[in-house]
Structure formats: structure tokens, C-alpha cells
Structure 1
Amino acid sequence: MARVAIVTDSTAMLPSDLGDAAELITSVPLQVIVDETAYDDGVEETSPEALLAALAAHKTVTTSRPSPALLAETYAKLAAQGFEEIVSIHLSAELSATCESSMLAAREAPVPVLTVDTRQAGPGVGFAVMAAAAVAGHGGDAAEARAAALERVGATSSYFYVDTLEYLRRGGRIGAAAALLGTALAVKPLLTIEEGRVVPHARVRTAERAIARLQALGVEAGEGAESVEVVVAHLGSPDRAAAMAEGLSAQLADRISGDVRVGELGSVLGAHAGPGCVAVSVGPAL
């Protein structure tokens, strides 16, 4: 029975308590570049508070993938620890070159590495990671862990609200035409992830209506399964996120496994979503 390690990246929004899975999961940071100075995602300089301050000061904030060298080093360390196979699970290749870095690094790895493109971002990536870790923790091999990750993320729905499409446009994560249309019509956009890409889902006239519609979409996504896990993410909008979590908890009370988890977006995702973002991810419970 091979020992299988799970590698992911800092956009995954994993639960704070990983339990037994903590021994199997390694996360590598993407980078946040603020006025040409690069920092690892997750350090003090890239906290949500620091990101909000940088954006408010109109600093240039961009992001970058982890290098193939960093991932190669990570894979080598895991092999030295006795892991015999690795499943490397990352955000959508349509949104980041992280999967490409993983595949390049896998060529040098001393043990087999399976790269998984979740075609998701944020909590959806975390859902895939936890599914793979559950299989690996029960003695499954890398192929079985990869299959579990893809099955769970394939049944995951993610929707999000942004105050403006400008940050997504700047980072090239949504087309300029879609961003211009949202601005010209003065609407509040609701977005989703389809086939790994950020695409418009609906346009609503006010922020209040958009948040209400976002909650309704979360409920609709949860009603199709017997038991679901729900995560609400935000950037600089704790009140909106708390209200969203409360509403989803009440409306999906008979289906939610555990509590609705609420978390603030890391700086890599936050730099593209912008202040005021609220997101809902709904996936099958483990």
C-alpha cells in the first residue's frame, strides 16, 4: 500500500482544522506582487487587511504562480519523508499557470506525481483536496485519490458577487467586453465558474438584490444533494458574509453537514475579486 501525499496551493481555503489529513496535505504559496515587490500569499504583507490597504492606496497588485522549482523541491521533500506517490491539486488552469508548474516539476520528481486541474478556485479547490486526503488516509492509491477529488469538485457549484468587474478585468480573468458591459449598465454582477473560467451568471440592479440572489443560488445548489458542505468567502465584507451564512444555514438546515464555514479570501483571489466580494461554494459532504 503506497503512502500518498496531497499537495495544493494557497488559494484552496482549506479548513483551519484538518484533523488527521494534516499529515498528508502540503500547501505551496502563490505570490502577490505589490508595486513590483513580491510576497508569498499568506504572510503578514499579504493579509486581507494589507491587501485592502494596498488597493485603497491604488497600488498595483498582481499575482504569480508558484515556480516549478518550488514545487519540485516540495515533491522531493515529500519523497524523502517516505511518500511514494503524490497528488497535486490546484486551481483552474484557465485562471493560473499553477497546474503547468506542477506538471513541469513532476518531470523531475523522484516519485510519481498526478496533477489535478480542479477547474475551480477557492473553496472548490479545498473540497477536492479534502476528498483526496480522505481516500489517501484510508489507504487508497494516487489514482483513487485523484478520482475522488475530481468527482467531488465536479459536483461543486461556486457563485460570487463583486462590487465591480474592474479587478477581474485588470488581471485578465474576465473579458474586457463583459467588464465594460457591466460598467455601462451600472449593474451588480453575479459570476460563476464554468469549465474553469469566470463567466457572468446574472446582472442585478442593486447590491442588495445581488446578495439575495447569491443566497438563492446557494440554496438551489444545495437542494440537489442529500448532504452538502457550504463555504462563504468574502473580502472586506464580514457582515455580508455572516448574514449569507446565517441565511444558508436556515434554508439548508436539513442538508448541511456541520456549520457553514465563513472565511476571508486570501490575497491572490482577493486581488482579482476586489473589496466587497462575497462567494458561495456548495459541494457534496464527505
Structure 2
Amino acid sequence: MNNKILADTASDLSEQHYNELDIKMVPLTVHLEEKEFEDGKTISPQTIYKAMREGKSPKTSQASPQAFKDIFTSYADSDQALIYFALSSELSGTYQAAKLMEQEVKEEYPDAPIYVVDTKCVSIGLGLVILRAAKMAKEGASVEEIMETATYHAEHMEHIFTVDDLEYLYRGGRVSKTAAFVGTLLKIKPILHVENGKLVPLEKIRGSKKLLNRMLEIMEERGTDFENQTIGISHGDDLETAEKFAGMIKEKFGVSHVEIEMVGSAIGSHSGPGTLALFFLNKPYK
């Protein structure tokens, strides 16, 4: 019996990924117009982006602790190893909820092979880590091998992204109201990255034409071994720009595989429509 990988929907993986690699999924919660939805199950990203374009403000909350308890208990009961690679603990309480339920389940099943990992990653940056782990699990790798390789990928995963409207980051508490107003007025495009699991501003670009080229420059400065890894791109309902960007990456770096996915409802509720995010390793693929 192979080891099982658990992912949350902040990984922005598609249903095809979950099915092909037998990944178990736990949804984050999205709140819209006083209704509660399960990300990836009962609400689509397009619904969220449409609502945001209409001026609505969706909210999110961590995955249900009870969902974790039910999942962990079922695997503990069958004595099958389960490794949960969580969204960065700096961006959500989901990791803490999972750790709490892990401890609770292990009070009844002290030797349960349940493992919870804080990846410090998000979106397809997290998704690429999970895909690597799931492929290893499917090939029969041990828990130790999976966790060592996946942790290496998580530690060396670069997240470079921009948003279409700073207002969305303001609503999520990421920038001040003044910065959001001035940025929108001057058509400033922020470039941000993830540092120790937190969203951190990197630089500002005036005008969208320079933006993709600057993101490519940052990729060249920070990344390595592009030919051997899968590059990730996630987008906030802007497939055309994502595909254009993927073509630029393939041409510049000789990359053979770029994974393009839409930013899901949970992450998209904070980043907004028009988000473009780039993910790659800054150390050789393992």
C-alpha cells in the first residue's frame, strides 16, 4: 500500500491532478454574500472573480478542523501513511488546525503514520511540491524519501507574482490604502514574492508592458536548472496572458514543461482577477 499525499485547495491543482496521482484533497472555506462554500467543490474561481469585478469582497477561512480529524482518523485506523503538505502557516491557520487534529488523533492512535508539513508555499508553488511528492508516492517511495525531496523543493521554490489591482491586496491587508490608491492612479504594477512563507513586496513596475520582461529577468537572476524542472504559472482568470508568458519562458530558457492553472477561489479571493504568478526552483531539481 503506497503512502498517501494530502493537499489543500490553496495548491490550485486541477481535478485531473488529484485523479491521476491519487492525491487526497481538503478544501479551504470561501465566504461570499453571507454564504459559505468549499473551495474547489461548491464554488468556482470564475464565480469569485466575477463577484470581485462587481465590487464584492469574498472572505476565506481555514480548512475545517473536523475535516482533518475525519481524514486523519481514517488513515490512522487503516495504518496507512498520510503526508499533508500544507499552505504556508504565515498565510492561513490551516496548518495549525491540521497540527491540532494530528495531536488529537495521535492521542488515540499514538503510532499513526500521520505527518503534517508546513511548506511555506502557496498556489502552484505549493502545487509543484505536492506533484513531486505524489509522483514519488505512486512509485512506492518511503515516507522519509518523499518528505526529504518535497521539503527540499518547498524550501527552494520561488514565488514571483503581480496583481492587476492593488485594491485587492489592500482589502486583504497586504498594502496600505494610500499605496493602493496611488498605485492604481499611476498604473503601478507591484512585483511581490514569498519570503519565509510571507508575501513581501519586491519592486514596482510602471506600466504592464515592462512587467513580463522584468519577471523573466528575476527568473534568470534567481533560478537554475530550468530544463529539468516543471515551471508553474497561475493566473486570475487571464489564460491569454499566462499562455503568452509561458511561451516567453520556453523561448528564453528552453523549458519543456510549464504547468498553467487558474488561481483558485481561496487564494483568488485575496489576489483578485488579473493576478499572474510564476514558480520555479532556485536550486537544481531533485
Name the TM-score, length of structure 1 as normaliser. Answer: 0.87
The answer to whether the 8 A contact 1:29-1:40 is kept is yes
> Identity across aligned pairs (percent)?
29
The answer to whether the 8 A contact 1:219-1:251 is kept is no
* 1:62 corresponds to: 59
* 1:113 corresponds to: 114
* 2:3 corresponds to: 4
* Matching residue's letter, 1:230: I
Q: CA deviation at 1:72?
A: 0.9
Compared CA separation, residues 55 and 218, structure 1 to 2 (3 A)? same
Alignment map for 1:205-216 (pairs within 5 Å)? 205-216=206-217
Cα deviation code 1:72-127 (max 9, x no counterpart): 111223344x4532211111100011100110110233423221111110111112
Gaps of 5+ in 2: none
- Counterpart CA distance in 2 for 1:262 and 1:159 is 14
Q: Which residue, 259, 262, 272 being the options, matches 1:261?
A: 259
Secondary structure in 2 matching 1:119: coil
Compared CA separation, residues 226 and 245, structure 1 to 2 (3 A)? closer
- Counterpart CA distance in 2 for 1:59 and 1:84 is 43
Q: CA deviation at 1:223?
A: 3.7
The answer to whether the 8 A contact 2:13-2:261 is kept is no
- Counterpart CA distance in 2 for 1:152 and 1:264 is 21
* 1:140 corresponds to: 141
* Matching residue's letter, 2:34: E
Name the TM-score, length of structure 2 as normaliser. Answer: 0.87
* Matching residue's letter, 2:25: S
* 2:150 corresponds to: 149
- Counterpart CA distance in 2 for 1:225 and 1:177 is 38
Q: CA deviation at 1:156?
A: 1.4
* 2:235 corresponds to: 234
Alignment map for 1:114-129 (pairs within 5 Å)? 114-129=115-130
* Matching residue's letter, 1:251: K
* 1:28 corresponds to: 26
Cα RMSD for the two superposed structures = 2.5
Secondary structure in 1 matching 2:210: helix
* 1:78 corresponds to: 75
Compared CA separation, residues 49 and 7, structure 1 to 2 (3 A)? same
* 1:101 corresponds to: 97
- Counterpart CA distance in 2 for 1:19 and 1:53 is 26
* 1:164 corresponds to: 165
Gaps of 5+ in 1: none
- Counterpart CA distance in 1 for 2:144 and 2:20 is 18
* Matching residue's letter, 1:95: L
* Matching residue's letter, 2:31: I
The answer to whether the 8 A contact 1:188-1:204 is kept is yes
* 1:192 corresponds to: 193
**Structure 1, 196-205 or 136-145: larger mean CA deviation:** 136-145
- Counterpart CA distance in 1 for 2:224 and 2:137 is 29
* Matching residue's letter, 2:131: M
Compared CA separation, residues 64 and 265, structure 1 to 2 (3 A)? same
Compared CA separation, residues 16 and 68, structure 1 to 2 (3 A)? closer
The answer to whether the 8 A contact 1:132-1:148 is kept is yes
Q: CA deviation at 1:17?
A: 4.4
The answer to whether the 8 A contact 1:222-1:228 is kept is no
- Counterpart CA distance in 2 for 1:230 and 1:212 is 16
Compared CA separation, residues 180 and 103, structure 1 to 2 (3 A)? farther
* Matching residue's letter, 1:12: S
